[in-house]
Amino acid sequence: MAVKFRERGALISITGISEPSKIILLTYTVYELLMKLQVLLMFFAGVLAFTMASAAPYIQIIGPVNKTLYNGQSVYLGNVGPGESFYVLASPNTTDNGNYINIGWDTLRAVNMSGGWSSLNSPLYQNPMKMKVTVSPNAPYGKYRVEVKAVNLQNYSRIGNLTFFAYVNVTKNIFRIDVSPSNLSSGPGQPASVYITINNTGISDEPFYIAAEGLPAWNVSDEIISLHSTKNRYTYSIFGNEPGIYNMNITVDSATSSLVSDSFPVRFEVKNSLLNDFNAVGNGVGLSPIIFEPSYAIMSGIYYIYSSLTGKSAKSH
């Protein structure tokens, strides 16, 4: 009897083929059909799972990253330094079986963390919810998991609670700095401005301190805020009272972790010069006792002409 079957769309006859060969070919055909059926079943199972998940309550994370999570899912937030704090922000609104629920989540809580870590729940009914987590100052570098629960108090909205897992990487490398100029000069007692660009690649909004090391009789630091995932430029002024060349460092340190810091070398020359004196007069800095006031007036006139030619704005005196 002639046996026919379709192999990849073509009708093939196996008439005249030996019985063992027929059995092999038929077995192969049945195997291919089963594999195709398995793929179809997996596809429909995936569609069903997606549909069911879409109908389930979710939580919308809005900081420091943006992601929609369902119960049991996880999210990677980013880098944070030892001893630093970060915030998890989320919307309190959700849906259940397609029905919108306003403030379905009443608070956000960290329910399971590593030893030495601490947290602060988001206030009740806050919108958006803002939960604080503080890393242990002794936390070794590496990846950590924080178990977070979105709570529906007394199951008022009948959606239960939702648990998700937030992962962070503890490292000292959470920001980069650039300083310009790297060579600068000024007269004794006159300010020189340094411009520091801080690229905060971490997830913490903790403040930083900008300071100078290696400059005699100078111990002034500026506290600044550089928000996470931002790049900002700051001005820092330094002074030198005695003429000389100072090889110093501009430092940027975390206000909450001594391990998080960076520095940039700067060459600072303090010297007397006519140009520096002009700038001093233009900025209202006295050069000598009051008996030399007439010379101040002359130098102020020269400075005004110099400013006009160089494009600087002369200040009135």
Question: Are 164 and 57 in contact, with CB atoms under 8 Å apart?
Answer: no
Q: What is the pLDDT of residue 219?
A: 81
Which token pair is 30?
A: 């049945």
Q: What is the pLDDT of residue 241?
A: 87
**Burial level of 266, CB count in 10 A (0-12/13-18/19+)?**
buried
Q: How far is CA 109 from the centre of its chain?
A: 22
Give pLDDT tens digits for 169-215.
Answer: 999 999 999 999 999 999 998 999 999 999 999 999 999 999 999 99
Give pLDDT tens digits for 15-24.
Answer: 555 666 667 7
Question: pTM for this structure?
Answer: 0.69
CA proximity to 246, closest of 286, 217, 222, 279? 217
With b meaning 16 or more CB within 10 Å and e meaning fewer, what string describes 170-207? bbbebbebebeeeeebbbeebebebebebebebbbbbe
- Other C-beta atoms lying within 10 Å of the C-beta of residue 67: 15
Q: What is the pLDDT of residue 255?
A: 94
**22/109 Cα distance (integer angstroms):** 66
Q: Where are the beta strands (DSSP E) in 225-312?
A: 230-238, 244-254, 261-270
Contacting residues for 32 by C-beta, under 8 A, at least 6 apart: none
Question: Are 102 and 93 in contact, with CB atoms under 8 Å apart?
Answer: yes
Which residue in this structure is represented by tokens 């650039």? Answer: 178
Which token pair is 187?
A: 């007269």
Give pLDDT tens digits for 236-264.
Answer: 999 888 899 999 999 999 999 999 999 99
- Mean pLDDT per block of 10 residues along the chain (317 residues) reads 48 57 68 72 50 75 98 98 97 94 97 97 97 97 98 95 98 96 92 96 96 88 94 94 93 94 95 62 42 50 60 43
- One-letter amino acid of 268: F
Contacting residues for 97 by C-beta, under 8 A, at least 6 apart: 55
- One-letter amino acid of 39: V
Q: How far is CA 184 from the centre of its chain?
A: 32
Helices (H), the chain: 19-55, 274-282, 293-310
Q: What is the pLDDT of residue 292?
A: 40
